[in-house]
Amino acid sequence: MSSKANPLNRIGSIVQSRSFPYAKPTWPSSVQQEHVQSKLGINYDSEWSRKYPARLVRAAFVDWVAKPAIELIAPPPIDGLDRIEQLHPPIIFAANHSSHLDTVVLMTSLPNRLRHRTVVAAGADYFFDKTWKAHLWSLTTAAIPIERTKVNRQSAIKAIELLRANWNLLIYPEGGRSPDGWGQPFRPGASYLASRTSAPVVPVYISGTREVMAKDAKKIRQGATRVVFGSPLYFREDEDVRAFSARIEGKVAELADESSSDWWQAKKNAGTNSTPPLTGPIGSKWRREWELKNLG
């Protein structure tokens, strides 16, 4: 039998051509298509992840899987819990960001009464670009999509609604992970939400996660991490959101100083305006790397 007459070859050529009905039908160019809004990205509806069944699954995952894993791989000493023991939801946790591991380390460091009532502000373009990723992060971390590159009214309204419904919010004001280990300037998202809801902002400094799980690393290594909670900050009527954002960044820098030295030295440096900036020294790449390597 010739190859042309072989029915298998014929079927194969049809499949390879991916013509209808083996692929989606083409749309006539003369007919205007109706725009269908994407259900991913900033439009992803994460409300299901805050329902009781999903919360139960998440609590089991965080307490019985994530927390033991962190304690095995990178157990963090936790400082400053006494500074937040009198606080009740809603609370905005504003932390530095150097690794995807930050969220798990911080969430498992929170007291039980706050841990299971906290949602995470996650980049809509990264964590919600595919259906499976959106479902996964919403279920395991209670993530909600936010726009990282520009102000988005939709994501701001959702965050405000959740805060007013007594959910805590974990947000990374840097907008993304550190490219070199040093912090990045804080954006005013956390301060804006505080100004609209009167929720306290708790500055948080997380160290060591980049060495455990670097930005481009293909595997996780054992290492030492640390979490330091600061005292709550409140938006004042005599300051704008950018000034408050700078104050939050300054407090996180102070916690970083405390983490690398001690509480008294950090307070002395803060009192003389000599706290090392979170963003590191201005200079060449080698100098920044050298300073980071010798930090603390």
pLDDT digits (tens, 9 = 90+) for 147-174: 877 667 888 999 999 999 999 999 999 9
**What's the confidence (pLDDT) of residue 107?**
97
pLDDT above 70: residue 12 = no
For the chain, the maximum distance between any two Cα atoms, rounded to a whole number of angstroms, is 91
What integer is the mean pLDDT of 238-255? 96
Percent of the chain with pLDDT over 90: 66
Please compute Rg for the chain using Cα positions.
24
> Which of the two residues, 121 and 294, has the higher pLDDT score?
121
The pLDDT value given to residue 16: 56
Domains and CATH numbers, the chain: 43-293 (3.40.1130.10)
> In terms of Cα–Cα distance, which of 97, 84, 94 is closest to 207?
97
CA–CA separation, 109 vs 28, rounded Å?
A: 56
Higher pLDDT, 41 or 226: 226
* Cis, bond preceding 21 (omega within 30 deg of 0): yes
